[in-house]
Structure 1
Amino acid sequence: MSVRVRVLGPVGVVGPGGPATLVGARQRTLLALLALNAGTVVPCARLVDALWGDDPPRTAVRTLHSHVSRVRQALEACGLPGVLLTRDPGYLLGLPRDQVDAHRFEDAVREARACLDGGSPDRAAALLDEGLAWWRGDALADGAPDGWGRAEADRLTEIRLAATEDLWDARLHLDRHAEAVPELERLAAAHPTRERLVGLLMLALFHCGRHVDALDRYRRLSAHLADEFGVDPGSRVRELHAAILRGDLAVPDRTVATQLPARVGHFAGRVDELGALSRWLAEPSPETQVMVVRGSAGIGKTALVVRWAHEVAARFPDGIVFVDLRGHDPETALTPGEVLAHVLDALGLPRDRLPASAEQRTAVYRSLIHGRRTLVVLDNAGTADHVLPLVPNSANSRVLVTSRHRLAAVSAYHVVRHVELDALGPDDAHTLLARVLGRARVAAEPEATARLAELCGRIPIALRVAAARLSGRPRQPMAELVADLSDEGRLDALSVDGDTHSVRTVFASAYEVLSDPAARMFRLLGLHPSGNVSSWLAAAVTGDTHGRGRRGIDELAAAHLLSEVAVGRYRFHDLMRLYAVERAERDEEGAARDDAVGRLLDWYLAVASAANRVLDPARDRVVATPRQPPRELPFGTDPDEVLAFLDGERDNLVPVAGFALRHGHHRTVCQLAYLTSGYFESRGYADSRIAIHRLGLEAARRGADPVVEGLMHSGLGVALIAARRYEDALGELREALRLMAAAGDQRGVGHAYNNLAAALGELGRFDEAIVACEQAHAVHVANAHTLGAILALNNLGHLYARVGQPEQSLHHLRRGLRLARDANDRRLEAAIQHGIGETHRSTGTLDPALEAFAEALALRRGAGNRHYEARTLVEIGTTLIMAGRRAEAGKPLEEALTIAGELGDEHLADRARAELARLG
């Protein structure tokens, strides 16, 4: 059937009697928006918003009715009577979707993408050619859409551009590279920050033998993104750039990078729910980008979405992001800013480019997600604030949410689809038990199987726990377990959402057959505030060796009371942790629980102290005082080993500090904040660093200790500098200075001045920064604190270099270098040599610069500090290029790139790649 309504260009409609006469932009907009929702009632309120925006006239509704009447007359006059219908609460255009050009276009694009993903680029190209041919100009070109109407026009424009990228993707798969270059050049000039578009152009140029031009295109993209958004290109185009540098395009250009957890074993049922998710993905209206899967604890929300996401991963070639928001517990839930930090990290944003505020992070997220085809899975959302910042601004990406709540506020801003999960049906529950226990066993006891499923409430987690118990006793009749579970007098009902009486009974059945050490471990680990625990903590909290602790935690995992999420790391289901806490309250004396809380906090304190000695031994103003230190620590003296272990604990650090504060362990909170600073200095994560220092500040105030309060203000100020919130940092550091001066803490005063200088320098207030730095130096010299004096001289050297006074810069750096050598502080000696190299290079004296960088490199290699080793290698490569020694520059840059890759430092890796690109 021929198209009757056109909106992809000037708006028009043709009936049997010829074209309709539409008078005025609002009549054309009205018809277009009704056509884009053909077959669906559009409420009057939405039409008013689309025609007049946020400030409609008082007569808007009456004027709308008048426009509808005139459009209806125009449709009747062209031979289309009775198609514009009044339906409460608005109007409906009663035409099939295939009579609207936009719907035909979107259908062709969807089918083409399926062909492209399925390895049929020729068919995809034909469909995309056909779909793009419907366009005759801008969407609603002679209309005047406002509000959501303008957003709809923008959406269509975005789909058109993405479809154009798909078309050239398909053509490149058909080896039409020479044909692609001029058109992709034109498109990239019009859209210089679209990463996929530039990536396609780079591919085409490479295959035409224009390798240097391809690298130059990457350089221009990188510059545009840095200038406009302060971000680096995403991982896919970076990988392509690296492949071109190697002259090797073996890196596949449609790789799916995914953070999804492994699928849950023994999945059963949920056919209707899986179908609903797939229908959501295939919906003709891409504005429905949000799906919420809702249900009570233990009902299988995460298992469902993880399974489905694995099945459709190929539909999201730019990857899948998975974040557990921990929204079931307000005490441990991630903040919206922390959620955005996790997502941006997953999308490849270097940690040192993370904006300070949630609003800025949202803007960067939308710039990164724009044009990509990405699935963002938000597990355990607690509030709409977790979700709203992450709704994509383009039609290609989707957000899939699990929650115990309806998140109604999300629906106030976006069209949201919902899937409600209930208990499994009897047949599906039977299937799940059969998959764990074997068909023969359940077939032998059909009545007991059915009764067991009902006693578990047909809730997946309860079924798995019960089946795990039975699988460990293959000769036990199922009827015996059923009899045990039917003894309802033993336990009270568990107070959580849904019917969980039987769930609690199932948990008890698994718990009560544990060995005594494992049962005690289960109870005590439940006290952990986030439920994400290591085998090392499990040993410490029970006072055992790590070997015995591993045996206990393995027993808990075998009983499905804990899940192993990584080697040596385990997680409670939140419902299971609730049960563990209840058992601790029932089976442990108050003194024993308090002792376990102390052991838990002492373990974190001992770990933080040991890590601090490795990562930042000069940070010695706070000494850890664990009353019950653990028998063993999880790492030695290798900085990489320390950082890797703390990476696994990162999401626990703030909840544990909050837990310590609630239990009155004020000194422990402050010690944790201070001793984890070296980790945050190495890794970033400014949000967590700020949060733990705020908790430390509150603890110091409750403990009425002004010296420690000054330390916490100082630490918070440094954390804010790391987050590039320099004005906020000044306030904290000035308060630190006041408190430390009042307490006579001269060392603290000197450090506060040093940190003030850093914040002022970043604000471009160099004269004030230099004064503060000189004050820091004077205080440290008077106090005989050599390390502080060296730091001040190093900072003065950097500040004078930034204001164009290299002689003064080198004067202070050389003074600091002599002191660092006398103090045998290799770390500071290396930092100062690195600074000397930068200052020499800024004056064009390249040989002395290279000598200083070589000294810094040797010192950093000797200390095993690979991050700073790589930074110095990059500077050596850059300086060699400036000196015209290009043949020597590749080796240090390649070494830096290798180290950055091993450390996962994308920003440093990109710097190395950029310099390598200059070598051609």
Structure 2
Amino acid sequence: MRVNLLGTVELVPAGDEPVLLAATKRRAVLAALALELNRVVSGDRLLSLVWDGAPPPQAKAALQGHVAQLRKLLGSTLDLVTRAPGYALVGARHEVDVFRFEDLVAGAWQADDETAAERLTSALELWRGPFLADVPGRRLHEAYEARLEELRLTAVEELGARLVELGRAGQAVTSLRAAVADHPLREPLVARLMLALHRTGRQAEALDLFGRTRAQLADELGVDPGPELRAAHHAVLTDDPSPRPSRTSVQAPAQLPHEHRGFVGRHTELSVLDGLLADAGIGLLAGPPGVGKTALALRWAHRVADKFPDGQLFVDLRGFAERKPLDVKTALVGFLRALGVENVRLSGGLDALAAQYRSLLAQRRMLIVLDNARSVEQVRPLLPGSPRCLVLVTSRHGLDDLVVTEGAVVLGVDTLDDRTAGELLAAGLGRHRTEPEPEAIAELIGLCDGLPLALRIVSARLASRPRWTIQALVDELRDEQSRLAAFTLPEEGRGVQSALAVSYRELPEGAARTFRSLGLHPGTDIDSYAAAALLDVNAGTARTHLRTVASASLLHESTPDRYVRHDLVRLFTRQLVAGEDNQESVDRLLDYYLHVADAARALLSEQPEPVTTPVHRPVSFPELTSYRSAMEWFELEEHNLRLLLDASDQRRTWQLALCLDAFYAQNGNLVDRVKVCRTGLAAAHGDREAEARLLVSEGAALADLGELEDAVRESERAVRLASGKIEGMARANLGYCLAVTGRFADARERIREALEITRATGDLRAQAAVLDRLANALLCQNKAAEALVPARQALEVHASLPLSAAHAAALYTAGSVLRATGQTEAALRTFQDGLCLADRVRDLRHVALFHLVIAELQGDEESAVAHREAARSIHRRLGVVELPASRRASDSETRRTEHRSS
């Protein structure tokens, strides 16, 4: 089975007629996969190539359908496989005409003239028409056509030269004349046609061709003929029998600037760049300002310079400089002059100059470094057509078009890790200064955000001040008001702040407003919903702006629709909004987080009723519909919510505290649960219901921590303040605390009262929680048989409710009761069911408890060791003291650390 792309797209079985591919998009899918033979093409890139950058909503389903149909048509020699994150067409290179063509041309270079002519003729015969003649769309053609057309013209030129060498000049004239008619300014092509005409005795035609070409070069490019064309002209005038145009000796350009002194680390990035050598193409180093993209590019370029015998070209495109970006035509003229073209002028057209540039590089192996590129439009005219050249681009922008249309390989350049940052400082200051102050060095690296530019600036400041200690500079940099100013070179006014300012000024208006508004957000990460609240727009608009900001490397998209900024960027955005009245935007942000946090809390808590009605209801917000989605949202936003506790008014503070309490109650983080409850209590002073709810939660957390006297005290306060459903939970919680401390009569009375209240209110969640507490209280009294009834009743109620951590707690209680009554096998099954449930709802505390108790009950020691290690891992993550390895359900002192009463 063969795939033909050099003309119309065909799928051809061995020795048979082509298979009909009626659907245009199916031909495009086949072409896109075949052109990346044996390499995975991501689903997103396929959609962009096939639907020309604008896939409709149903495109993904359509793509899957086309892939399924193609699999039915492919024979045994080609296989279309699914591999994350997309698809790959797997097979031998000779099955695709593009690669047969490339291999035949490559095999001709070092072959003798006869063999080379045969191979080049066979290669050119594979072209049945224009590349992808029956596949419309710009992106698929732009991604591959220029390189293949350049290789085709190079093959035509080389075939013409070989035919002249073999004495078949007339045949050479025929093949070359058609190519020159289409590309009259391609000097190597014209030179070969002139020599072929000369060898057939048609000197007048050859000289006329030179005259026309010289005039056209002057008119359209503003240049004189280059050395190769002049040499051919001289051969015709002097009747030189030389079959080939002789090149005037031009020194190979070596334009790489010197490497940055003190370069350290980046071993992974250098290794990735080394991989580009195997398949020369385009590499893109993208990253934020000051991260060291140019330093990395130059380090690698100097390392591999000897791999490019025809030289290295370098240009700073000034995409993000204080000055105007370099005009791409100016860059082209500079490259042409470096390549030996004399008298080249800016008056020539950009396309014609780029074509001449590609022609000069057609048979060369060169490294081209395009530094500080602002856009694809700056880069594309400077790309060679030859696959033997390699281009390395650096940019603050992601340049997605370069990836889609040119197949560039992207390497994100991030800040330095602590160890490498320390090496950079040691290289600049000497270890005699860094080693005596390890703690100050560690803090200095953090204050610099691991940003190489910031590290080099502080290193320079310290180096010029040998009497300063590193700690003295650290003390200065702790002041957030002046930190950015400290990362500036006073003589030149350049530094982190100016670099960020240039990128900020280049943002479109909507993206710039979005970036500036981040100064009102206390955290370092944000999603499109929170940004939409700040901007008072919908999430789609905010997402578009955030992506633009991320493309400029001012943010980093850590996960889909979640954007992280470095701390120095956070300080810069704070400066942008300093002195402005943005209270309304801040209130919208607070109400957004409170609205979603309350919705998430309702999915986790035993009291699903809303705690608030925000003044500013958000335009867009995530729709949380399950326990799992609520937990995932809290896990993402926990840090932001904790920061907002300090930025809110009193009402919002206790409301946010209640929401965070529900999250900590579920994941078992008891220490932070107590902290947020106390923060909320301080803000809720005077609001009886709010205080009661927070006291119930604080009492439950204190009981689980074993702080039993404090738990009883806070629970009693809750009972005095509470009413309605809250009173029921307060009494149930107090009953459990009393039971654990041995005050059984009072405990049973409080729990009985709680059960009456919850049944009267019809609150099933609360009923299940009270029944669970009753079972625990009975278990504390060594009344396991009596505890079976409420334990089973709690499970029955939970069976009618959505999955929750409270259900997992009830399974733990039931298992403990069964174990205490001697029903070991039933207890083990219950604990195993509980482990599965706790794992599903991410109740880490109970996951650890289930692992420990299962380890005690299982006879397999190897399995028991695995369970105990899993529990230890969770305890380390939660930051709690490891629970006792051995426990008995009747041991009330141990149970103080075992039971959840949230």
TM-score (norm 1): 0.40
TM-score by length of 2: 0.41
